[in-house]
Amino acid sequence: MTVIPLHAHLRRPSGAERRFQPADLARPAHPEGASEPSRRAHAIAEWLETLFGGTPDALCRGSRVALGRSDGAANDPDLELLDLPAPRDVLAALVAMAEGVRKKALVPFAGVPLEMALLRRGASVLVSLYHTEAAPDVLVLDRRVPLEAALASTGRALSAIEPGAHTRLLARAGELDIVEERDTGVSATRQRGGVLDDPGERETLAFGFEAAIFPSQEIPRDGVSHADVHAMLFGGQLWAWVRGRRVTLVRSGPVLLAVQRMVSAIGALVTAWEEDRALHVRLRSGSFLVGVRRDRKDAREVALTLGCEDDGAITIPALAIEDACMPVLRVAAEVLRALVTVDRSQGRNLRIASLREQVRRLRRIVRARTKQVGFTNDDPDRVRSMTMALESEPPRPIAREERTPGSLRFASRWNVVIDGLDATTTYFCGDRLVLSNERRVLALHRDDGQCLWQHEGPAQSAFLAESTIVRLGADGTVEIREIATGELVHRVRLAPRVGGAPMGVFVGGGNMPPIGLVAEGRDRLAAIDLRTGELRFRYTARSPGTFRLRRAGRLVLAVNGDAHMDAIDVVSGEVVWRCSVPAKLCLTPTTHGPTAIAVSGEPGRGDATLYGIDLPTGELVYRQPLAGPVAAAPQMLDQHLVVSLTGARRGVLASHDPASGELRWAIPDPGVGTGGGMVSTDHAIYVNASSGKLVALDPQTGDTLFARVLSNPVTDDVPRKLTPLVRGGALFVPSAAVHVLRPRDGSAIGAAPPCELVPDSLHVDERGWMYVAEESGHLVALAPVQALRLVTGRS
């Protein structure tokens, strides 16, 4: 391999630089008689020396650098290409500055996340080189280079790297007259903020800063926002006050980069706090160092390390989480405010906007978690009367095993094809099936599949509400139609859903008005009276997120990813109580009698905790740590609270006492955590796994009663919904096909005729008819066939 050490071609300037002349572009940039690779290397080495004072390590692959072709000629396998800024872009920017057209230019690298900034200052140009990753590092900052020398060396480098190309640009550079610009020494605006004087012992931690910020000399174009890392590299000083002691963090350098690293460390701490896990992180920016350590997942205190290489670091132990976060976020907000005050155009800098939004988001989270926002209900008797129905009947009726039929045979009665069928919005309503998709809604008679009514109209989601179907559009439109006739009853306009798909639930009925609760905007729920189409109330969450709702009598339990659960009176809209916990609540809660049950944590992230909350009062009944991250929302199956957890090797399926949270049994997860469906009878809990295996578990011990393989996980398709159904003493299990089994032992009762459909949606009516829908658009009705048996006897 031909390797040419770049340092062999670097020359150190001696004396004043020679003034630029158009002939300089044609002056040989290499020793006489040198080889082509050597001439190219010499030109690039001189160019890098002029701009950067040498070769930054970030441009080198190893200690020795090989230069290759970049002119589109035949590739030489013995040469390796060096990552460089595009000389044509650099020369074009310098020419524009020499002509007085531009004051500043940013030139990104193609191969590595680096960027070069050029800033005109009189007869010179200030050159900076830095990384453009999330945490930028500065390699060269504001190196003053004579504009003439920069033009000459860049032109020669371009001619050497791409000989014969860009002739017009080179000719323009050779013929230009540099527009004189008096170096007015654009004065920096001094900004000071934070805590400037010793706060004494009253504050454990505080920060102060002083910065010299140059206003932008370029007029921003309307409607254009850009990412400008160079604007964040203004110099200054940063210090911390630690229990009355001043600690220097940045003596003279980019203050905002150090602040950004502190915000990143605080962001990691807040995430660990939300996920209730330990943390140890150390970050650097130049000589600045910040570290955060949280030893235990339930710790309310952390250790914060701050310092710089020149003056050493200091560690503050036993610092409350909010006392570590808020001073950092406060000084970050002040530094950003100082920058935008001096240079208003930085309000459109995408880097600044992103950091400012991160600071605001973290401040909201910390304030919400430290402020005592939870409250209990002062009138529990009123709520207790609302939820009496919960105590008299279980939230999910248990399927009682009936006499199992001897054998069953099914025959196809009718089938239809519906373009764009959505298995999640296929409903069985009395004598008809109602189907809604993105383009239409229609009803089919269950006996013959005849279309009873059909209406065109876009919708992304739908839900049933007694005698109506409610369809939700992406633009915030809500349509309410009668199931009997398909007639449009009301059309309501809400704000479009932001940050998630449209969603809604029916929460009225019985002795309450029929109410549809629909998510709108980023953080609101709108309650619509389905009789009139009028709004009854709007509920606004404390922070934006995805709503998870559970009906509990007259209450709706609402979580949306923060650390709170709200109990909303669906008639009045009043928040009856709010329960706050030290971790995120992201999964749909469930109920058991007078107890609301929630699991903290996000699926697959951080150890979860089980919480039991008294429904009438909102008081915490129990807190039960779980043995790992949760995989799915908890489910109530008769008297058993079943929770699926993820593990390092294999998940765990656990049963808890819903009244106390105590663990009853735990077994290797048969498939619930990977999307399996569950149903229970008084005899067993059935798990239908996506692997094609059906497992029956003893509800009291978790022991396996039987297991049966129904499909091949490699070759067979998996239905969208895997929840089995219990009807008429038979177990209907959706897999690659529908299997009809005896609940006691899993033996086959009967089978549907050969059918190519994957049962993405399965309904079984009281007659034993099966309605199988596949998202390809096919829907088939299968009915049991009467079987005749020969009965022998004595005459």
- Element holding 48 (H helix, E strand): helix 36-52
Is the predicted pLDDT of residue 23 greater than 50, yes or no?
no
Is the predicted pLDDT of residue 84 greater than 60, yes or no?
yes
Tokens of 266: 């605080």
Tokens of 621: 């009944």
pLDDT digits (tens, 9 = 90+) for 693-736: 999 999 999 999 999 999 988 888 899 899 999 988 899 999 99
pLDDT digits (tens, 9 = 90+) for 392-446: 444 444 455 555 556 778 888 999 998 888 878 889 898 999 998 888 999 999 9
| 55 vs 645: which has the higher pLDDT | 645
The distance of Cα 198 from the centroid of its chain, to the nearest Å, equals 41
pLDDT digits (tens, 9 = 90+) for 355-385: 999 999 999 888 877 775 678 887 787 777 6
pLDDT of residue 699: 94
Burial of residue 787 (number of CB atoms within 10 Å: 0-12, 13-18, 19+): exposed
Is the predicted pLDDT of residue 389 greater than 60, yes or no?
no
pLDDT of residue 377: 82
pLDDT of residue 185: 52
The number of residues in the chain equals 795
Q: Which amino acid, 594?
A: P
Average pLDDT over residues 550-573: 91
pLDDT of residue 72: 37
3-state SS, residue 672: helix
The mean-pLDDT minimum among 294-303, 339-348, 566-575 falls in 294-303
Q: Which amino acid, 6?
A: L
On whether the CB atoms of residues 729 and 404 are closer than 8 A, the answer is: yes
pLDDT of residue 219: 58
| 310 vs 156: which has the higher pLDDT | 156
Q: SS in 3 state form for 466-500?
A: CCEEEEECCCCEEEEEECCCCCEEEEEECCCECCC
Q: How far apart are CA 170 and CA 25, in angstroms?
A: 8
| 266 vs 379: which has the higher pLDDT | 266
On whether the CB atoms of residues 343 and 586 are closer than 8 A, the answer is: no
* Cβ density class 263-272: b for 16+ within 10 Å, e for less: bbbbbbbbbb
Burial of residue 304 (number of CB atoms within 10 Å: 0-12, 13-18, 19+): buried
The long-range contacts involving 552-555, CB below 8 angstroms and separated by at least 24 positions, are 552/387, 552/390, 552/591, 552/596, 552/615, 553/386, 553/387, 553/388, 553/389, 553/390, 553/615, 554/383, 554/386, 554/387, 554/512, 555/383, 555/386, 555/387, 555/615
On whether the CB atoms of residues 490 and 470 are closer than 8 A, the answer is: no
Q: How many CA atoms lie within 13 A of 49 on its CB side?
A: 19
Tokens of 111: 């191969």
**Cα 396 to Cα 506, 530, 591, 636, distances in angstroms:** 16, 25, 9, 7
DSSP state of 258: H
Average pLDDT over residues 43-65: 69
Q: Which of 738, 706, 708 is closest to 722 using CA atoms? A: 738
Q: How far apart are CA 429 and CA 793, in angstroms?
A: 45
| 7 vs 144: which has the higher pLDDT | 144
Q: How many CB atoms lie within 10 A of CB 768?
A: 19
- Element holding 610 (H helix, E strand): strand 609-614
pLDDT digits (tens, 9 = 90+) for 592-643: 999 999 999 888 777 889 999 999 999 999 999 998 889 989 999 988 999 9
| 219 vs 637: which has the higher pLDDT | 637
Tokens of 705: 């009663």
Angle of helix 147-161 versus helix 36-52 axis, rounded to 10: 150
Q: Which residues contact 7 (CB under 8 A, 6 or more apart)?
A: 45, 55
Q: How far apart are CA 413 and CA 434, in angstroms?
A: 18
Q: How many CB atoms lie within 10 A of CB 560?
A: 24
Q: How many CB atoms lie within 10 A of CB 201?
A: 8
Is the predicted pLDDT of residue 471 greater than 70, yes or no?
yes
CA angle 33, 35, 37 (to 5 degrees): 145
Cite the DSSP H helix spans in 704-752: none
Q: Which residues contact 19 (CB under 8 A, 6 or more apart)?
A: 148
Q: Which of 449, 519, 443 is closest to 484 using CA atoms? A: 443
* DSSP per position, 633-666: --EEETTEEEEEE--SSS-EEEEE-TTT--EEEE
The mean-pLDDT minimum among 164-168, 295-299, 547-551, 638-642 falls in 295-299
- Element holding 673 (H helix, E strand): none
3-state SS, residue 87: helix
